[in-house]
Amino acid sequence: MLFINKAHSNLFIQFIKKDRWLLIGLFLGIFITVLILGITFPADDLTQLQGFDELLGNPIFEIFLGSLISLSNLQGWFAMGWFSVSWWIGIPFGFYLGIQIFTHEIAQGTADHLLTAPVSRREVLAIRYFSAALELLMMSLSIFLGIYLSFLFLDIDFPLLDTIGVITLDYLFFLTAMTLTLFFSLILVEIKRSLIVTGIIYISSYFFQAFGSLNPDLKILRSFSIFEARPLMEIYVTSATEKILPNFGILIVISGLLFMISFFIIERVEIRKR
């Protein structure tokens, strides 16, 4: 059980404290950006958005946004303006946290110091993983607050369940990126190689999704794409939240299996002393 003694709580505080300024900057930056995006929605003159709606008919946009996206409502505005690009922040942050959990300490030569506390490697891994997952959750919370205040400012009914559903799915998507990076970093025990391998997996997934969506004959490629587990943003626009429930399970299983394997192999990781 986590935090059953002072050593456990110290590990948690140490991890969060190390990234405190990055976390504060990320939280405020995302919150302000989302809020500005929301309050600049031209609710009183939607005619100026017609050109953008025509642009969204492009097959390239339909790959990830779907064919039902329209900027003429605030949900479509956020789907295009924020959710469609959110992984460009969430995935790199997940990569960063996956490295920070353990492999960064090995690279810096501080892993021995970390393990001088009366805790096992597995306890260190579990506590620091939980801490990193909490940091990702704080990032997702900043998105939620920005969207909520935007709807409130514009006096538009807030789609609570739809917003929670899509943000939760994005959170699980970023958590999977973090766990995958952690897994490869423990196997390769080298930061650059771990990031290269994880990056190749995500870039390949992107192209599998793109080619499988653009060419019906290559549809099978989408089965090998992790982006397939991130539903089209039209789910948010059409309030089809129930369609994302299977994707919750997919990402939870992937993250859970990778963490369990990491939990067992960490005892075999060689820590080079400097």
DSSP 177-223: HHHHHHHHHHHH--HHHHHHHHHHHHHHHHHHHHHHHH-GGGGGGGG
Contact, 188 vs 197, CB < 8 A? yes
Q: Which of 28-42, 70-84, 86-100 has the lowest mean pLDDT?
A: 70-84
3-state secondary structure of 89: helix
| For residue 185, pLDDT beyond 70 | yes
Mean of pLDDT values over 202-218: 75
User: For residue 98, what pLDDT band results from cuts at 50, 70 and 90?
Assistant: very high
What is the mean pLDDT of the segment spanning 29-47? 77
Measured CA to CA, the distance from residue 99 to residue 273 in angstroms comes to 18
The four Cα atoms 215, 220, 226, 231 give a dihedral, to 10 degrees, of 60
Average pLDDT over residues 63-85: 63
Alpha carbon separation from 161 to 143, 167, 196 (Å, rounded): 14, 10, 36
DSSP state of 267: G
Phi, psi torsion values for 132, nearest 5 degrees: -65, -40
What is the structure's pLDDT at 206? 76
99-149: per-residue pLDDT in tens? 999 888 777 776 666 666 677 888 888 999 999 999 999 988 998 898 888
262: confidence class by pLDDT, cuts 50, 70, 90? very high
The reported pLDDT for the residue numbered 159 is 83
Mean pLDDT of 45-58: 56
Give the pLDDT score at 138: 92
Please say if the pLDDT value at position 253 is more than 80.
Answer: yes
- pLDDT band of residue 274 (cuts 50, 70, 90) is very low
Mean pLDDT in the chain? 78
Helix axes 245-265, 160-188, angle to 10 degrees: 20
Q: What is the mean pLDDT of residues 10-26?
A: 86
Between residues 12 and 216, the one the model is more confident about = 12
> What's the CA gap between 158 and 152, in Å, rounded?
7
Q: What share of the chain is helix, strand, coil (3-state, %, to 5)?
A: 80, 0, 20
The confidence score (pLDDT) of residue 257 equals 95
Checking 101-104 for CB contacts under 8 A at 24+ apart, the result is 101/125, 101/128, 101/129, 101/132, 101/178, 101/182, 101/185, 102/128, 102/182, 102/185, 102/186, 102/266, 102/269, 103/182, 103/185, 103/186, 103/189, 103/190, 103/191, 103/194, 104/191
Q: Find, among 66, 88, 80, the residue nearest to 231 by Cα.
A: 66
Helices vs strands, H then E, count in the chain: 13, 0
Tell me what the mean pLDDT of segment 27-49 comes to: 76
